[in-house]
Amino acid sequence: MKSLEQGLDRRAIIWIMNWTFSGTAGCTAVALLITYYYIVPFGGELMATSMRLALFIPLLLAIPLFAFIGIKLQQLALANDLLTLASRYDGLTGCLNRAAFTSDVTAFFADQDLEPFPPTSALMVLDADHFKRINDCHGHLAGDQALVAIATEMRQAVDGSGLTGRLGGEEFGVFVPYARPETIGAMAERIRLAVAERGQAIAPGAEPVTVSVGVALFSYPAHYEDVFKIADDQLYLAKNTGRNRVCLVEYLRRPGGIRAMANQLREGLAGVFTETFGSGRDEPGEEPSSVAGR
């Protein structure tokens, strides 16, 4: 993240130089015009002396003045940028904080409601398994390292195709706005495996750091709160069936809409929509399920 201690970059220095040159040239031109207007009646000798003074005095005063003001303006702009970053990003992991993540995702939802052919998107909710044990047994520094490792693997897996956020504590969110159903499960699984592999080295001698992942794959129109509820229910399903696994539910315009689906999950019917991740098997006599769980 940028810092005021790093100084001004090349772009800022060029702006300061242009600002100083433009301001000095403007002040000098005004001084020459005013001097000429008032001194011209007094003859050529006085005119020459006065014009030299009108040229050199603004140069001596304006150059340092405009350079100083320009530096302070750029430092102020940098400070404002840092405040914006601090208000949007989590200082430890570098992910969006909960407010910024929710705001950005909600804005995307609203835009898609106006599109005739909105894309399929995915929302993941991740949670570190047995995170309290890491803090209690190995200290909060090890816990911070675990959170940073999880955030790093999330960003590498998403690779600029979505948003990553720290929702609070050891819980994270990933939003992929243009998600292909055949790849989103693989992305979630890639995050899970990468965290488990990297987590071996965070607290030697202890259980490796792992994550449980709940995924909601959906199409629009939809409400963020409903989609988040579905993904969160899948996360708890992953927690309750052994942790260190991915549970994914896919919504493809079921009757009643995604809100009806969220309400069903709230009423404890999550099991109706869940099966083993990647198995592709359904109960006899039922419609093929579009839900996968791991």
pLDDT surpassing 60 at residue 282 = no
Q: How far apart are CA 215 and CA 190, in angstroms?
A: 13
> Is there a single domain that holds both residue 134 and residue 235?
yes
Chain-centroid distance of CA 238 in Å reads: 25
The tens digit of pLDDT for each residue in 2-20 reads 554 456 778 888 888 898 8
CATH at 265? 3.30.70.270
Q: List the single range of 114-123, 209-218, 275-284 with lowest mean pLDDT.
A: 275-284
Q: What percent of the chain has pLDDT over 90?
A: 33
Mean pLDDT of 172-186: 91
> Is there a single domain that holds both residue 284 and residue 265?
yes
> Is there a single domain that holds both residue 238 and residue 267?
yes
Describe the strand order of the beta sheet including 120-128 as a list of residue ranges.
Answer: 163-168, 171-176, 120-128, 211-219, 246-250, 292-293
pLDDT at 72 (0 to 100):
87
pLDDT at 287 (0 to 100):
34
Rg (CA), the chain: 30
Give me the number of domains the chain comprises.
Answer: 2
Half-sphere exposure of 180 (CA within 13 A, CB side): 4
> Is there a single domain that holds both residue 236 and residue 116?
yes
Q: List the single range of 45-54, 64-73, 78-87, 270-279 with lowest mean pLDDT.
A: 270-279
pLDDT surpassing 90 at residue 105 = yes
Q: How far apart are CA 179 and CA 175, in angstroms?
A: 9
Query: Is 170 noted as a catalytic residue in this protein?
Result: yes
Query: Which of these is catalytic: 170, 189, 250, 275?
Result: 170
pLDDT at 206 (0 to 100):
62
Q: Could you tell me the pTM of the whole model?
A: 0.66
pLDDT surpassing 80 at residue 274 = no
> Is there a single domain that holds both residue 122 and residue 203?
yes
pLDDT surpassing 90 at residue 100 = yes
Structural domain harbouring 33: 4-88
- 178 contacts 117 by C-beta, under 8 angstroms: no
Q: Residue 93: inside a domain, yes or no?
A: no
Residues 6+ apart with CB under 8 A from 222: 109, 251, 258
pLDDT at 38 (0 to 100):
81
If we measure between CA atoms, which residue out of 114, 18, 6 comes closest to residue 70? Answer: 18
pLDDT at 2 (0 to 100):
52
The tens digit of pLDDT for each residue in 188-209 reads 999 999 998 887 666 566 667 8
> Is there a single domain that holds both residue 253 and residue 211?
yes
pLDDT at 220 (0 to 100):
87
Chain-centroid distance of CA 79 in Å reads: 19
Q: Residue 181: inside a domain, yes or no?
A: yes
pLDDT at 60 (0 to 100):
85
Q: Residue 121: inside a domain, yes or no?
A: yes
